[in-house]
Amino acid sequence: MIKKLKYALLSALAASMLNACTLSPMSEQPKSSSLNSAIDQSFFEKRAELITKYSSEDNTFAALQTEQRLATTYPSEYWRWRIDQYLYGQYPEYQPIYDAFTEGKQFNEIYDLPKESLGKKWVKPTKLPAIPKAAFTDNLPGNAYTGWHQLVGNKIYTVYQGHLTDPYVASYDLETKEWDGPYKAGHSTLSKGERKIDSHGRPIIEVDNQGYVHIVFGGHGGEREDGLNPFSIDTPHAGGRMTHVVSAKPNDLSKFIVKDDITPFASYTASYKMANGDIYFFTRAGTHKSPWVYYKMKNGSQTFEPPVKITWPTPQKNDPITVDTHYINPLKVSDTEIVITSLWHACNFNETHDKTNYGRLNLYYMKLDTTTDTFYNAHNEKLNLPLTLADTNKHTLAYDSEKAQEISFGTKPLILDDGRTGAAYEARGEGYREWRMALFEEGKWTHGHPMPGTVNQVVHEENGNRIKRVYSLQVIKQKGRSATAAVAYRNAKGENVFGIAKQISASGDSKKWQIQKTHFSIAKAKIQMSPVKNERGDVVALIINVRKGKAQRLYLWHDGEFRANL
């Protein structure tokens, strides 16, 4: 309350001073400018006119100019840059004015700011903890993940973030059990030079109906030299250009060509190919305070169409330094439908993040009918894009975690065997952190349900002892009442294990499993599994990540064995 009152008072004060000398056009010029003074003055006068024009209804300018004048968190030049970006993204009328003024100029010719620092430079480890052999990748940097894959015919195409976050791609033939690759598919600017390793731009892969391989990778907000972001109100302060490349020849991974059809400012990657061959790529169109968008590539094309804004960030009325935005998570659930869950993320222009909750709340649900490219909520009501927080609270809210006084740290769509509509959220509170399910039944949402497959799921080790900690259980073969599953779990010795289990009994939701074979046991490691499924939904292989300390590799389990890429 005190913080909001502070900004309300400061914003009112700044608004009353818009025409004062401290905010005059010439006072906002960079001190190091050697530009023609007449051109310089004309630009800043036009800029000031637009700010005055929109400030009558938009108090974000007053709040940002207050920060610029006080310069307590960042220097004045930094806030001039942020005001430019807000004006540029929120009011496109400014874009041709700014573009004409900055054409041919480097970033440091426009803003007198120190060299960008994006964290401690990554140093290649000299010694790695031992993890199992038979991997198909070199050692991977960054956070643990299982890459992105697509099964086409008998080939598994898989892509991952390799050395210095560059994208690497390989394929595995299920019949010959042979590998092709890996090949370096492009150059990422994400973690080069004096930068830390960043996992935001992990690559995704899609193989179109003509056999061309598409990879998108490397983005976390773009580079300063890319200029201002036309799709956002947030500056490119994270680093890393999003890039789309396509194979030079169908079904050939040896050479890729860069396509200039997506914004370099994007962050996060997710994509799905629909039954008709159209490809949908979902991303955030910049850093935190940016809209989420999707790009569509029609079947037969090799380029994406212009983006469609799904959400739009909004500064809070009583505290415009704080911006309400979203994190989305899409999932293809049928040949023609993609479900999208999201959460509310409260960010701020000061870039201060509460690491206890990261400002993440609530669960939202909507779906995209790709036959008409129309969004609907759970009630099948048509949604008008882009959606603000007010819109999502009114039309797509599935769980109000703010009201329940807990954090909703992550969300994900669910495909339920019984056809019901469901979504998952990671609930966090004092002393707990767990995934729960929300269900939409009889026209309303209920929440707090256990996740599918977690109720009465009992797994025993080979010696008969019950396993207390099961990380993941993936059914890989089902025939009548007989089933086989891959299981990642912790054994009685505290080791993390990957093994194969057989279903020994089943009664309703209650199932009992017995481990038949363990492939490896390793202490103080993390194991992740991602199933590779065919068109019928059968699991034909598993991609597994094993990480221990700075040692991290990907493994392919197929036909009862790990298939190393020798």
Active site residues: 200, 268
- DSSP string spanning 148-193? EEEEETTEEEEEEE-GGG-EEEEEEETTT--EEEEEE-----TT-S
Contact 80, 107 (CB under 8 A): no
Q: Is the dihedral of CA 69, 74, 79, 80 positive or negative?
A: positive
Number of Cβ atoms within 10 Å of the Cβ of 132: 18
The structure tokens listed for 85 are 């970006």
- What does the angle CA 507 – CA 513 – CA 517 come to, to the nearest 5 degrees? 160
CA-only gyration radius of the chain, Å: 26
The structure tokens listed for 281 are 């790529």
The structure tokens listed for 499 are 């093994």
Contact 325, 289 (CB under 8 A): yes
Query: Which of 327, 398, 387 is closest to 360 using CA atoms?
Result: 327
Tell whether omega for the bond before 386 is within 30 degrees of 0, i.e. cis: yes
**3-state helix, strand and coil shares in percent for the chain, rounded to the nearest 5:** 15, 40, 45
Query: Which of 441, 439, 434 is closest to 408 using CA atoms?
Result: 434
Q: Give Dmax over CA atoms of the chain in angstroms.
A: 85
Helix (H/G/I), strand (E/B), else coil: 62: helix
> What whole-number distance in Å separates Cα of residue 123 and Cα of residue 371?
48
CA atoms in the 13 A half-sphere facing the CB of 361: 16
Helix (H/G/I), strand (E/B), else coil: 308: strand
Query: Which of 202, 155, 197, 200 is closest to 180 using CA atoms?
Result: 155
Q: How many residues does the chain have?
A: 566
Please name every residue paired with 498 in a beta bridge, in sequence order, or none if there are none.
Answer: 488, 520
Number of Cβ atoms within 10 Å of the Cβ of 481: 8
Buried b (16+ CB within 10 A) or exposed e, 430-461: eeeeeebbbbbeeeebebeeeebeeeeeebeb
> What whole-number distance in Å separates Cα of residue 346 and Cα of residue 317?
13
Buried b (16+ CB within 10 A) or exposed e, 316-329: beebbbbbbbbbbb
Residue written as token pair 């065919």: 534
> What whole-number distance in Å separates Cα of residue 377 and Cα of residue 368?
9
β-strands 256-259, 267-273: how paired?
unpaired
Contact 188, 201 (CB under 8 A): yes
